[in-house]
Amino acid sequence: MLAFRSFAARSAPLARTFAKKAAKAEAAAGSHNPPIQLFGMEAKYANAIYTSASKAGSLAKVEKDFKNIQDNLSNAKGFADFLEDPTVTRENKVRGINDLVGKAGYDKLTTAFLCVLAENGRAGATGKVIDTFSELMMAHRGEVPAKVVSAEPLTDKQVKALQESMKSYIGEGQTLSLDTEVDPSILGGLRVQVGDRYIDLSISSKIQKIHGVLSGAI
């Protein structure tokens, strides 16, 4: 019994050391997980490429590649049509992707990822998957997306004032990534979205509310 107690006493520090190392290893493995939870088909692929790129230390490179691909989808109509065309076989899409992006100097993960999308019959969702990946990268950097829609272009002074007022809606250590848009149809006022918070202060929405009240009163 005494020998067992002596062995247990000597083993306890080793066990604690092993447990600490195991915990560190588990934490290191989990550090490559996406920073936020997103769901759906697009998120499934975006999560996978994020984890792979994080482990390879290629997040910044893959993000740059995706930005270039997104620009091509917007500006090169033929490329988007090729990815979405249901009459093109998966094999031909994979071959075409290798031909198109293989010469662009993309990271090998980027090319492999696009080929996986094509092989799985999801090439047409490339743009949405990239948008979802961008959300993950913003969260990775601690950026909170914000969008302001106005009837007329905002001045730099107005944008700065809005940024200051929005700071109360974000957490400590986070930064705003503000996007502005002009939409004359709102007539005046603003539509503001910070993260998942949405505020409609447009004149058009107020007119709609008044119209709804008047219609109900008739």
Task: Identify which of 120, 47, 45, 32 has the alpha carbon closest to the alpha carbon of residue 83.
Answer: 120
Residues 80 and 66: beta-carbon distance below 8 Å: no
- pTM, two decimals, is 0.65
- More confidently predicted of 7 and 217: 217
pLDDT at 116 over 80: yes
Dihedral angle of Cα 87, 92, 94, 98, to the nearest 10 degrees: -130
User: What are 149-189's pLDDT values in tens digits?
Assistant: 999 998 999 888 888 888 877 777 778 888 899 999 988 88
In the 8-state DSSP scheme, what is residue 195? Answer: T
Give me the residue label for tokens 């939409």.
Answer: 183
Strand 175-182 and strand 143-150: pairing? parallel
For residues 131 and 135, give the distance between their C-alpha atoms in angstroms, rounded to a whole number. 7
Span of 71-85, 102-116, 124-138 with lowest mean pLDDT: 71-85
pLDDT of residue 3: 38
What are the structural domains, with CATH classification, of the chain? 41-138 (1.10.520.20), 143-217 (3.40.30)
pLDDT, residue 77, reads 67
- pLDDT mean over 79-83: 79
Where would I find the beta strands (DSSP E) of 107-211? 143-150, 175-182, 190-194, 197-200
| Per-residue pLDDT, 217 | 53
Residue 82: pLDDT over 60: yes
pLDDT, one tens digit per residue, over 188-210 is 888 988 877 888 888 888 888 87
Token digits of residue 17? 């050391």
Where residue 102 falls among pLDDT bands split at 50, 70, 90? low
What's the CA gap between 82 and 32, in Å, rounded?
A: 33
Closest CA to 182 of 205, 204, 149: 149
User: Across the beta sheet with 143-150, what order do the strands follow?
Assistant: 175-182, 143-150, 190-194, 197-200
Range in 43-57, 107-121, 132-146, 168-182 the model is least confident about: 168-182
Q: In the 8-state DSSP scheme, what is residue 187?
A: -
DSSP track, 97-122: HHHHHTTTT--HHHHHHHHHHHHTT-
